[in-house]
Amino acid sequence: MKKPVSHNIFIFAAVFMVAMLSCTHQIDVDYKSVAKQWVVEANLSDEGTLAKVSKTVDMTDTVMHLSTEQLQDLKVSVYDDNGASESLVFDEKDGLFHGSAIKAEEGKSYKVVFTEAEEHTASSYPIKATEFVDAKWQWTKMFTIKVLLFKFSVKDIPNEATYFRYRIYRNGKIYKWSVFRDQGFQNRDVVVNVNCMTEEQMKKNDPDDEQVLHDGDEIRLEVATINRVTYDFLHVLKSSRNGANPVSMFANALGYFAVYIPVKYECVFQLSNVLEK
């Protein structure tokens, strides 16, 4: 005969758990201060160069961004392998360094040089461009919520690990962006689903909700093949709450230098053209 289990055991366990949950301890976290590092995010496409320069910050810092005056004192230049060079111009409006003379071309390699007290250099070249296969809008059910997806697919680069970045612009301003890779789609079409808005958001039509799309919105999708370091940097940036990015193509600085020729898809959003799953 089985021996009955004593209820005292369960009572003791319950009391123990309550006691543990009711205990509170103050934990002092010692954030160790480390030397700040420069961060350079440089992009060279078939339209020119854009670069963002920033600095890492400590958890206890109250000032999170470099001032306009600090940025204006910096130098960012880009070079191609034919000896051509261009000094990028800082624009106060967007806080970026711009250049339009040197453009990405297949078969060439490029170098970007960021200069403050010392020089920081990174080199790269265009990864082979992909091709669009399909793009469409589609409603889908996620549990009980109806969600609008922007579904698109691109060609994988055969027989090699391939990394991508997409940017979706709405009426000329960035709407969505992320990175993806060909894992699970090697040597075939790579499919991406972008979550845009819910049916509830659409019906609410809150003017302050930047996710809501409207008839007549001009949409431009750009997909670029990028190098592994750029993918890693942006993947961490997208998924991390504190923006930690421990990867770099620069000596004595963090960051990446991406050279690419993006493929582009343009359309005008019309709710009546959205497919039902």
Residue 95 confidence (pLDDT) above 60: yes
**pLDDT attached to residue 12:** 44
Which residues 6+ apart lie within 8 Å of 187 measured at CB?
Answer: 156, 158, 159
What is the rounded average pLDDT for all residues in the chain?
87
Whole-structure pTM value = 0.82
The alpha carbon torsion through 204, 205, 211, 216 (nearest 10 deg) reads 140
Residue 77 confidence (pLDDT) above 70: yes
| Widest distance between CA atoms in the chain | 91
pLDDT digit string (tens) for 217-247? 999 999 999 999 999 999 988 887 665 667 8
Which residue's entry shows tokens 């093949």?
225
Q: Do residues 139 and 148 make contact, with C-beta atoms less than 8 angstroms apart? A: yes
Residue 193 confidence (pLDDT) above 60: yes
pLDDT digit string (tens) for 135-171? 999 999 999 999 999 999 999 999 999 999 999 999 9
Query: What tokens appear for 46 in the block?
Result: 């078939």
**pLDDT attached to residue 26:** 53
Domains of the chain (ranges, CATH numbers): 38-124 (2.60.40), 132-242+262-276 (2.60.40)
**pLDDT attached to residue 34:** 55
